[in-house]
Amino acid sequence: MAVAVSEGTFEQEVLKSDKPVIVDFWAEWCGPCHAIAPALEKIGEEHAEKVKIAKVNIDEEQGLQIKYGIVSIPMLIMFENGEPTKSLLGARPKSAIEREFGLSE
């Protein structure tokens, strides 16, 4: 299950995570963001041993939006060992998200 993170919890939940974290930068008004949400939940369930899913609402967490240069959403960024390593912009099918982040078999 995806965990909602804020500026206050980002460091602990994402940067200090013991496994890679895919952060979904989204907003309530964003249709494509809602379209990929079920795929991200499924990825979180199916690959729980490999990756964690976190969500950042950019309307509520503008500091994180600015820090990571988010200008379009949905934006997915994978963090490994506290650093952003891969990103994916726009709504994609589950298989494309898995492939981009190295989760497909």
Distance of CA 104 to CAs 24, 37, 46, 68, 81, Å? 19, 18, 11, 26, 21
Number of domains in the chain: 1
Residue 33 appears among annotated catalytic residues: yes
Tokens of 60: 């509520």
Please give the distance of CA 23 from its chain centroid, rounded to a whole number: 2
Flag the least confident range among 23-32, 35-44, 50-59, 96-105.
Answer: 96-105
**Rounded to the nearest 5 degrees, what angle is found at the Cα of 88, between the Cα atoms of 80 and 97?**
85
Evaluate whether residue 104 is within a structural domain.
no
Residue 30 appears among annotated catalytic residues: yes
pLDDT tens digits along 61-72 = 999 999 999 999
**For range 11-28, the mean pLDDT:** 97
Evaluate whether residue 61 is within a structural domain.
yes
Tokens of 66: 């600015």
Average pLDDT score, the chain = 96
Residue 89 structural domain: 3-93
Evaluate whether residue 105 is within a structural domain.
no
CATH classification at residue 56: 3.40.30.10
Q: Which of 33, 75, 76, 103 is catalytic?
A: 33
Evaluate whether residue 49 is within a structural domain.
yes
